[in-house]
Amino acid sequence: MNRGKIVIVLMLVVGVGLASFAWWHRWRRSQTVLANWGSEAADAIRTGEKVELFRIGQTNRMAGAEAEEITIGNQTYLLFDRRDITNSAGLIHARHHLLHEQGFAWDAGDADDEPTWDFVLRFTKGQSVATMALDFSGQRARLLERDREVSMAPISQALQKFILDIMATGASGTAIPEEDQE
């Protein structure tokens, strides 16, 4: 065998080895997310064809407005101000952060204070639904279908900015009247 063939074979072996390591490393890092969110919810978050954003309240401040009830832990809340954000700018980045292991402090433990849930993101893919409640003051996220809560401190600020930008301009790009903003 001449030197050229040896170099080519060596390059192929090194390439396959590095690709295998990269695949293994990415797979290993996704295991925490899958263990907490579950594969069905992770798939809905990643590729859901419909994404909705809701405000959360304990009372229907908008008399006569249609509101959906939701239970988070043992507390019932109302979801209102529904927005379809499926095609919103930045959603692809938000999906990535919600599925990235480093987006959360998985070992942070439970917070001492009672959560003040601000928003709900609902990802729907066929029959699969992933509903995530967000508490920005406590920097927590809770996946309702699996009743899993985790600290979202690493991504809290960026996710809050993304959501507040949508609420300020509306999912369709139209401004919300000032009296409706909080």
68, 79 Cβ separation under 8 angstroms: yes
Torsion angle (degrees, nearest 10) of CA 168, 117, 40, 165: 10
Whole-structure pTM value: 0.76
Picking from 55, 28, 30, 25, the residue whose alpha carbon sits closest to that of residue 43 is 30
- Over the stretch 129-164, which tens digit does the pLDDT of each residue have? 999 999 999 999 999 999 889 999 999 999 999 999
- Over the stretch 108-137, which tens digit does the pLDDT of each residue have? 566 667 888 999 999 999 999 999 999 999
Task: Please report where in the chains the tokens 């029959």 appear, as a residue.
Answer: 127
Mean pLDDT for 50-67 is 73
Task: Please report where in the chains the tokens 């832990």 appear, as a residue.
Answer: 73
Question: At residue 162, what is the residue type?
Answer: F
Where are the domains positioned within the chain? 35-175
Picking from 44, 171, 19, 166, the residue whose alpha carbon sits closest to that of residue 95 is 44
Helix extents (H) in 38-74 = 39-47
Tokens of 125: 């893919």
